Chains A and B, each alone.
Chain A
Amino acid sequence: MSLVVFFIAAIAAIASAVAVVAQRNPFVSALALLGNLASLAALMLLLEAQFVAAAQIIVYAGAIMVMFLFVIAYVGPKSEIGAGDRKPWQPVLAIVAGILIAVQVVVVVFGASFGEAAAVDATYGGPGAIGAALVTDYLLAFEVVSVVLFLAAVAGVVFGTGARPRRLTADEVLVKEGESAEARRRAASRALIDAARPARTGEAGR
């Protein structure tokens, strides 16, 4: 029974991952990633990691993906324009390298012997066990993650608001226009002088 669930979730995960990579519209890609996250949460439930599966749905599908969708809606669903400057063999090489790496790891993994899985009791993977580990053995990592998240929030605010070009005051606009009028006048007179000169001295003078 759980083998059937595994294969259904595995096929759904692979199909949605391929859809994320292959879709041209980033909006559809983000929705496909949502399906990928849900099937991975099902697989984690098979591994009796209930709390991680719930966190996967709440944190990833609930928070991170909503942020993604907001940004995609803000940027607009632009797909890639043109062919870029890649050589035609580069994407082929990337796909071949990816398939080779996957085949290598799959062969190695099925050739290794891992022994029987450990027996676990009913509290395994619940919030109690995870919480106890987080605030005892992994307290430092827990605190470091909170600092990292805080710094990321500050970075998001700086990127989001600090990048706007400053609006010029009325005086500065006048100064800038005066400068550009001056520059235009100079350029026009230089062009006149160049036109009056013979062509070869104009080239040499530059």
Chain B
Amino acid sequence: MSPELPFFLALSAILFTIGLTGVLLRRSPLTILLSLEIMLNSVNLTLVAFSRQVGGSDGQVFALIVMGIAAAEVVVGLGLVVAMTRREMVLDTDELRTLNG
């Protein structure tokens, strides 16, 4: 017996909320970026699972495009972290409050 679609959807929902909780809880920008990766990957799993259910390859193409966008997001995020380190700023999102309203 092979696992049904709801199993995959439930797993990806659980992974998504773990990543969401990580974004909310952690203050290091590096860990926040890692938690964002968990969220993006869980959405990828949902896309692939629905693609298998429908029998088309559209969902898999979406998943690949999400991977490309995730790569771009990581480049920009890590570039910001490196720039912050070079300016000897504190790597703590609670301390970075210049734009805080």
Which among B26, B33, B54, B72 is the interface contact of A149 at CB below 8 angstroms? B72
Nearest residue in A to B35 (C-beta to C-beta)?
A: A21
Min distance, Cβ B55 to any Cβ of chain A, angstroms: 3
Interface size of B by CB at 8 A reads 74
Judging by beta carbons under 8 Å apart, are A164 and B86 in contact?
A: yes
Contacts A14-B15, A148-B72, A156-B79 given: A36-B41 contact, CB under 8 Å? Answer: yes
Q: Mark A1-31, 1 if CB is under 8 A from B, else 0.
A: 0110010001001100110110100100110
Contacts A44-B48, A95-B21 given: A64-B2 contact, CB under 8 Å? Answer: no
Q: CA of A43 to CA of B52 in the docked complex: distance in angstroms?
A: 12
In the assembled complex, which residues on chain B have CB atoms less than 8 Å from the CB atom of A137?
58, 61
User: Residue among B20, B24, B34 with the most chain A CB within 10 A?
Assistant: B34
- Determine the main DSSP class of B at the interface with A: helix
Which among B7, B14, B48 is the interface contact of A49 at CB below 8 angstroms? B48
- Determine the main DSSP class of A at the interface with B: helix
Q: CA of A87 to CA of B13 in the docked complex: distance in angstroms?
A: 27
Nearest residue in A to B78 (C-beta to C-beta)?
A: A71
Min distance, Cβ A150 to any Cβ of chain B, angstroms: 9
Stretch of A125-133, A173-181, A197-205 lying at the B interface: A125-133
Judging by beta carbons under 8 Å apart, are B92 and A71 in contact?
A: no
Q: Mark B3-26, 1 if CB is under 8 A from A, else 0.
A: 111111111011111111110111
Which among B48, B74, B83 is the interface contact of A52 at CB below 8 angstroms? B48
Min distance, Cβ A153 to any Cβ of chain B, angstroms: 7
User: Residue among B69, B81, B82 with the most chain A CB within 10 A?
Assistant: B82
Q: Which residues of B contact A (CB under 8 A)?
A: 1-11, 13-22, 24-28, 30-31, 33-35, 37-38, 41, 44-45, 48-49, 51-55, 57-58, 60-61, 63-65, 67-76, 78-83, 85-87, 90-92, 94-95
Q: A91-B25, A137-B61 are in contact. List 5 more A-B contacts (CB 8 A).
A: A18-B18, A37-B41, A95-B21, A102-B13, A120-B55
